[in-house]
Every structure is written in C-alpha cells, then in structure tokens.
Amino acid sequence: MQQTDSAPAAARAIVDNVSRVIVGKTPVIEQTLAALIAQGHILVEDVPGVGKTMLAKSLAASLGCQFKRIQFTPDLLPSDITGISIYNQRTGQFEFRPGPVMAQVVLADEINRATPKTQSALLEAMEELQVSVDGATHHLEPPFIVLATQNPIEYEGTFPLPEAQLDRFLVRVSLGYPDFAEELAVIERQEQTHPIDALDAVASPADVVRLQRAAQEVYVDGLVREYIVGLTEATRSHQDVALGASPRASLGMFRMARAYALVQNRDYVIPDDVQALAHGVMGHRIILSPAARMRRLQPREVIDRLLETVPIPGAAR
C-alpha cells in the first residue's frame, strides 16, 4: 500500500482474509479492524467456542504481526505480562526479559480471571504504548493492539473489570452464534485442516501504520461531531443510567467512525457509521441505575432508545 487511495482496498483485503477463518461475521471483523486503525483496543465478550481466539490469531496472521497469547489465571503476576529484570552474574548487570505484552497483537484470554492488580498491568501498555519495569521504560512496537476476551455467563472465580479499565477499551464486540448455513460452512472448511494454518499475510505492520494515518484524513462534518457528542451527553441524563459515558467515549467514537468509514471505502463519516458503532463504543461505558438493574434492563436497550430520540443530522424532524 503506497497511496492513501489504496487504503480502503487494503482494509477490504484484510477483512476478506480474516473472513476465511471467521465465517459470517463481517460486521464484527470490520469493527475489529477499525479499532486497530483507530489505535484502540478491543474487548470480545462472548460464550466459549464462538471464535474469540481465532479472531485475534487470524487478524495477526493477516497483518504479519507478532502475536502473543496471555492466558489469564488467578495466580498470574504483573511481571508475567510486562517482563522482568534478571541479574546476569557474568556481565554484572540486570537484563530485561520482555513479557508477552511486548508483541504487536496481544490476546488477553479470559482477562477477568486474573486479579485486579494483574489486570492493571495492561493499563500503561494500552494507554501509553509503553511498559515500565524497575524504573526503565520500554516502548512497544507499532501497531499495538490488545484483544481481551471474557465469558459473560460464568462469574465464579472471576474478577470483574473495573470501570476505569473498561473505559480503556475502545470497543466491545460480540461474535454470537453462527446461523445454520454458517455453522455448516465452518465444519466443511475444517474437514481436513484448520483455515488458520493456510492463512497468509495480506498486509504488513507498516501498511497498518499507513492505514492509521489515512484514517486521520477522513472528513467528519460539524453536524456529525455534534451528533456524536449529543449521544454521549444523552447517556448522562438518562433516567436509567447512574453513570454516563465519559468524554473518552466521544473521542473514541470520533476515531472509530473515521476508521470505520475508511473500511467502508469512504473518505467521510455519515451518521449511519455512528449508529453502527454506538453499541460497541458506548455499551460498556455506562453504568445502569439499581432500579434499571432490578428490571433487568440492558445497556443495549438504553442505547437503542437514545438512537431513536437523539436527532440525526439531516433527518426530517
């Protein structure tokens, strides 16, 4: 990829390549790629066996990026993630042994099974693209993305992510079960070998950096910007919301919308982009009131209501 004009074609090639492994989940793949282009991180929340790990592995393989998987467990220590300095008796100096977070695509598998102290070891890497160990700072190689997974059904032996860490994830996605034809296609594709074994890179880390720069040139009209802020602000005054989305949500939606428009082969953002991303960007950033939780209201229902009530730019009143 050499020119900005080829950016949408490169993005589409990545989506199509990942779709060879993750069948029938193009919208989720597009949002995942958009989060990477927007230089954000992803929380994949779904039941076991729907392809959360394969999504991360196929994305890394399609980009030719270094991939590391961290299996989060209650006994995992922060140094198991960031790395540790070890004294070398031969040289008489401490040497840094990098942890798995020093890769480009990091899968934090079942992140809610580790203690909050260990979970927080990811915060500096996610926010500042660096790791500090024993007073020394180690910068991460771009592009860098964390894909964290968690099971929303099983709560025994887990440590829920605190709101401050949830807010660090740009988008939360869910793969969901495939339909009948898609599940049949999965069986057929894995009859002999797994598609991930034959997946070749269709882009390079340098291409991803160019995609990130191209997304910064995508035009966002002032009315669309007001729509983004209007949706975020509406979460703070909703009667069923105890804590609304922060300004980081508005910034995240702005960046995601630009990247998503690029993936959709456009150099401008439309309100439909914002609506397509609203659940993924804002759903994990709002805390429902106790009364709403008693009624078993879901954040998705609140956002659906906001999408119906907040005026859309250009729509008839």
The amino acid occupying position 67 is: F
Q: Which helix (H) or strand (E) holds 305?
A: helix 299-309
CATH class of the domain whose range is 218-317: mainly alpha
Q: Which helix (H) or strand (E) holds 132?
A: strand 130-133
Instruction: Give the three-state DSSP class for 272.
Output: helix
Q: CA 147, 288, 273, 226 torsion: positive or negative?
A: negative
Whether 286 contacts 244, CB under 8 Å: yes
* pLDDT tens digits, 220-263: 999 999 999 999 999 999 999 999 998 999 999 999 999 999 99
* pLDDT tens digits, 57-86: 999 999 999 999 999 999 999 889 998 888
Same fold, 1-217 and 218-317: no
Domains of the chain, residue spans: 1-217, 218-317
> 149 - beta bridge partners?
44
Query: DSSP string spanning 159-221?
Result: -PPPHHHHTT-SEEE------HHHHHHHHHHTSSS-GGGGPPPSS-HHHHHHHHHHHTT-B--
Q: Does residue 32 register a pLDDT over 90? A: yes
Buried/exposed 105-137: b ≥16 CB within 10 Å, e otherwise = bbbbbbbbbbeeebbebbebbbeeeebebeeee
CATH class of the domain whose range is 1-217: alpha beta
The amino acid occupying position 143 is: P
C-alpha–C-alpha distance, residues 229 and 241, integer Å = 17
Q: Is-above-0.85 flag for pTM? A: yes
Q: Does residue 4 register a pLDDT over 60? A: no
Residue-level pLDDT at 2? 40
